[in-house]
Chain A
Amino acid sequence: MELLHTFFNWSVFVDALPLMLRGLGVTVLLGVVSIILGLVGGLLLAMLRLYAFAPIRWLARAYIDVLRSIPLLVLLVLIYYALPFVGIRLSSFAAAAAALSLVSCAYSAEIFRSGIEAIPRGQFEAAASQGMSFFNTMRDVILPQAMRIVMPPMTSNCINVMKDTALASVVAMPDLLKQATQAQALAANPTPLVGAAVMYLLLLLPLVQMVSWIERRNAAGGKSA
């Protein structure tokens, strides 16, 4: 009974729920924005890393390596607390979205690259022999095939971005975790934290299962069709 009262206190939960739902909305919005920016940036970065002129290629590679090495929390704190000293003042949402998508696009660039490099040379040659431009070759021939290959790792990456949104509570962004910790302090009861954990699970478990489903389907379906 004591345990139930402490961790699953219904009245505390109901009191905290409106703020937590608002927090959940912020979390999802931050996650979706960062995922989209990360995917677009990652694709662009992968193209530069593979096909740009040498100096740009090196820059893209350096960017990818650096951003994959720096801890996300460190980058977030740098953006939010250090950039104001050079006059760049971002809202907590913008700072979190920037940090998340800057890191995410480095990871997704590498995932895209691995997918593109897995496409047989004959596909590039067939498209080239028909006079197709680089853009058309990528859009119609290479990327649709590469996307299928990178689907599982890319979805995992997106899940990571969604999970890492919780770090934004460090820069005082009113996301799900921040709202939950505040409600916990207010009620002097950890139920909101438990509620937040459950909400994260409800949000992310289906995505995790989707990855396994895609992987199973790819394994069963062979390499094409």
Chain B
Amino acid sequence: MAVVPDIAGGERASQPFAALGEGPSRAPAAWVSALVSRARDALPRLSLPTTGEEAWRFTDLSGLARESWRPVVSPGAVDAAAVDALLIDEARASRLVFIDGVYSPGFSDTRGIGDGLGVAPLAQALRADESGVRAQLGRLVGGDVDLFSALNTAALGEAAVVNVARGARGRAPIHLLFIGTDRAPASAVQPRLLLLAGEHSAVTVIEEYVSLGEGRGFTNAVTEAVIGENAELSHIRLQGEGAAAWHVGRVAVELARDARYAGVCIASGARLSRLDLAVRLGAPGARATVDGLALLDGRQHADSHTLLDHASADATSRQLYKSVCDGASHSVFDGRIVVRRDAQRTDSAQQSRGLLLSARAQINAKPQLEIFADDVKAAHGATVGQLDADELFYLQSRGMPAAQARRLLTYAFAAEVVERVPVRSLVQRLRARILERTGLATVETGR
């Protein structure tokens, strides 16, 4: 595994990201170096997005640029019990753990992954199937489009790779756990994930970001997922970093013929988080379900930009995005559905629902449909509002105090997305997190 050294020059320290683009200490293969140097070459012409740009209109990154970010020199110390508490029962023997972006063999365990599956850090994945990884790494997210993917690619020395062979089916969900510690101030980690589901295969991957502590730091993650013919990827992305964290993530998914993608992205952490998720339905029969939940409080800001790109005929997409905003938090949802020319018989439906719990909270929703074919079913709906007065009244009429009724309805609102996670113990954990957030933790909820 590669440890990214601290090579920030003193004279560059005034630029927020200069030190992050210096490249990894060593690349696992020559072609990876080529990828890295292309991204590094692109960096000078890429700048930090501003609110003047449509895609960043509601998300202000100027605070992020006030720090001079540096790569992590060596991972912080973690307590084994603390890590153990983060593990998911079903995935105890199918997990990779990264501490501050650095692969931790000690905390990882891949004995239970089953036949035909490769779950490994990059160098090891290359030894197993170099040509397969080489064909896909950096293909969906190149290093020359926007600043963050360029920075991530320029630092590409490590990656978490899930490589599922043709026809293989994962026995257990795979847990890719990225733990941040409160290490040196202004340190940044740039995780990279590559998920490859071969033809007719099926796998569940949990991509999770957590902090032990406040989470001071910047995470800039990139995930590429390529789903082969008739393969199925269930992808759960959990962003639960500490209250001081900055989190920018990009997920790019590509579906082949009859491939299925089921994504659930839950953002409950970080002071500011942004996720760009793009799904390309590239062949007939492809089906994508993209669900999301933002659970915000305090001064948190979560921005979710999704693109469902119907590039082929006869594909189906479904989307449900929910946000719950308390305190002075701010949720942004920008959901774009594009139906390209000749993508006939597309069937696409999107729902976004926002729940405002406090007078200082704010929600921006921008569902978009762009349709260039005529034989299409496409619909979107968006609502932003408060808890339903009739429902509150109903619960109160059964003797439930108003405050508790409000919490219960809030819980139910958020739980709809959580129920879509296919991992049982994770659902329970997420439910508990919502209960805690809504102040219902002590109330019996019936299950």
Determine if chain A interacts with chain B.
no
